[in-house]
Amino acid sequence: HNDLPWNIRKFLKNQLVNFRFAEDLREMSPWSRSSWSHTDLLRLREGMVAAQVRASSLNNIFETYHVIFSMLQFWSAYVPCSTQHLDAVQLALEQIDVIRRLVAKYPTYMTLVTTTEGIERAHESGLLASLIGVEGGHAIGTSLGVLRMLYQLGARYLTLTHTCNTPWADCSIADEPGHLPHIGGLSPFGTLVVREMNRLGMMVDLSHVSVPTMLDALRMSRAPVIFSHSSAHALCNSSRNVPDHVLRLLAENGGLMMVAFYPHFISCSESATLQDVVAHINHIRDVAGVDHVGIGAGYDGINITPLGLEDVSRYPYLLAELLGSGRWTEADLQKLVGKNLIRVFRKVEEV
């Protein structure tokens, strides 16, 4: 999960003519001045995201390991809550548009994919498999027709809420002290949204939603669901995180929990470390199983990062830490960085 498209909107008003994504943005204004900027193609390649990379070639980080890791990227078509009931649908379309144009501008690095078959073809070609996720259920304007059109434009997951309730689903803020639920989970229309996403082959993303909404979606969905960027509530009691009883239900559902890197979700503080992120990954593995954990990160959508995971180039260090623990095999890590998501997505397509 990467929020670069929103930064392109903030900094460049979605104009790509002068956006030099293939160069080091740390040396270019305004990116160099922003604590929200963590992504460019150079660092994606360093981080083993933008191409298949043999681990043993990466400056001996992995010592004697010889596994090839292939990762994929969901670019977030994020829609702020301030647009709800106003121009949310328009902004969603504009953000999908800028993602499609960005990928098309760099065809030797990236390719837009909408299927599991497309992901596998991209990996074989050494291209970054670029997918679109719409972040914020208010982006559909309470319309199944809009939902269907977002799917036709390439969106392959919808986050049911952001930091605001929709007319049909409660967000995580409803779980915080002093707040009352708006609906108490999903409304009947919210159930229709989940079922229509199942019919389309669109992943249901439960990051940002309340626990009752999680439970309703898990009960109603005929397909596996995902958490695109959340962490373990047992280790940090943020309302944005997922409690163990939901993780157990997620395993029964066949779904996937992808760990966010934001320190407020990792250590419940302003600072965290790579080892703290490892603790969340291991906890989710312990509770839900190795087939149900992935990496969500959230780069370019956070303004502080864990020590050791400062930007998208740092993924190899996370994987090396897991390999070095003796607990994770190469096959396990392949699941973590992509195979689990492909499995879930394929099941969603089948349903």
Q: What's residue 57's pLDDT?
A: 43
Cα dihedral 263, 266, 272, 278 sign: negative
For β-strands 68-69 and 53-54, DSSP reports them as antiparallel
- Of the given ranges (51-65, 86-100, 168-182, 267-281), which has the lowest mean pLDDT? 51-65
CA 316 to each of CA 196, 274, 308: distance values in angstroms, whole numbers, following the listed order: 37, 11, 10
Q: What's residue 51's pLDDT?
A: 53
Average pLDDT, integer, range 287-311? 98
Domains of the chain: total: 1
**Full domain range(s) for residue 147:** 3-56+63-350
Per-position b or e across 116-150, b if 16+ CB within 10 A of its CB: bebbeebbeeebbbbbbbbbbbbbbbbeeebbbbb
| 269: Cα within 13 Å, side-chain hemisphere | 8
Q: 52 versus 19: which is more confidently predicted?
A: 19
Q: What's residue 60's pLDDT?
A: 52
Span 7-46, pLDDT tens digits: 999 999 999 999 999 999 999 999 999 999 999 999 999 9
Q: What's residue 71's pLDDT?
A: 77
- Of the given ranges (61-70, 145-154, 198-207, 209-218), which has the lowest mean pLDDT? 61-70
The token pair that represents 272 in the structure block: 């965290």
53 pLDDT higher than 50: no
Residue 253: give its domain's CATH number: 3.20.20.140
Cα dihedral 80, 82, 84, 85 sign: negative
Average pLDDT, integer, range 272-287? 98
101 pLDDT higher than 60: yes
Average pLDDT, integer, range 290-294? 98
